[in-house]
């Protein structure tokens, strides 16, 4: 099991690690996914998945805390970046109840939240069906996880 940080690095041209996510990528504006890039994937990587999760959200769903903003998978192993508002991969269901990216929008007066953009490196190229929830995705990919790392952004509702 590889549910531990690996040496892979994850960056974005939109924001630096532990810095504010621009409004453009939030539910208060254009609500488009930020560009992401990664390097240093573990040897043998043949596929990727990307998740955005807000652990600070005051929500408990199916025994999990926080709020899922993005579930993206079936990304080929040669992928090392995603453009803003990417059309690559297969979308899962967010906690908004819809497919695709749903940007940060914490409750008013709730302060700043952390948003973890996780990249999971897998030992096989997946061909999972559209519409998986985060628990369903994790169950499917856990046996194939070689490593993972994340970029953390912050956002406070204006």
User: What pLDDT was estimated at residue 21?
Assistant: 98
| Verdict on whether the full-model pTM lies above 0.85 | yes
Look at residues 26, 154, 14, 11 and name the one whose alpha carbon lies nearest to residue 84. 14
Per-residue pLDDT of the chain (158 residues; tens, 9 = 90+): 456 678 899 999 999 999 999 999 999 999 999 999 999 999 999 999 999 999 988 766 666 678 999 999 999 999 999 999 999 999 999 999 999 999 999 888 889 999 999 999 999 999 999 999 999 999 999 999 999 999 999 999 87
State which fold the 9-155 domain adopts.
Phosphatidylethanolamine-binding Protein (3.90.280)
User: What pLDDT was estimated at residue 1?
Assistant: 42
User: What pLDDT was estimated at residue 2?
Assistant: 53
Could you state, in order of their start, the residue ranges of all structural domains in the chain? 9-155
User: What pLDDT was estimated at residue 108?
Assistant: 85
Rounded to whole angstroms, the maximal C-alpha distance in the chain is 45
User: What pLDDT was estimated at residue 5?
Assistant: 77
Give per-residue burial for 79-109: e unless 16+ CB within 10 Å, then b: beebeeebeebbbbbbbeeeebbbbbbbeee
User: What pLDDT was estimated at residue 65?
Assistant: 78
């Amino acid at each position: 099991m590889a549910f531990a940080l690996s040496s892979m690095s994850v960056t974005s041209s939109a924001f630096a690690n532990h810095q504010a996510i621009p409004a453009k990528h939030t539910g208060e504006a254009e609500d488009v996914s930020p560009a992401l890039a990664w390097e240093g994937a573990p040897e043998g990587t043949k596929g990727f998945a990307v998740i955005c999760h807000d652990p600070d959200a005051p929500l408990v769903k199916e025994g999990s805390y926080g709020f899922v903003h993005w579930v993206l998978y079936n990304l080929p192993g040669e992928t090392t970046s995603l453009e803003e508002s990417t059309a690559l991969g297969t979308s899962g269901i967010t906690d908004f109840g819809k497919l695709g990216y749903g940007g940060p929008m914490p409750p008013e007066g709730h302060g700043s939240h952390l948003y973890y953009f996780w990249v999971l490196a897998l030992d096989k190229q997946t061909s999972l069906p559209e519409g998986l929830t985060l628990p369903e995705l994790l169950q499917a990919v856990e046996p194939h996880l070689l490593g993972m790392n994340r970029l953390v952004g912050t956002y406070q509702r204006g």
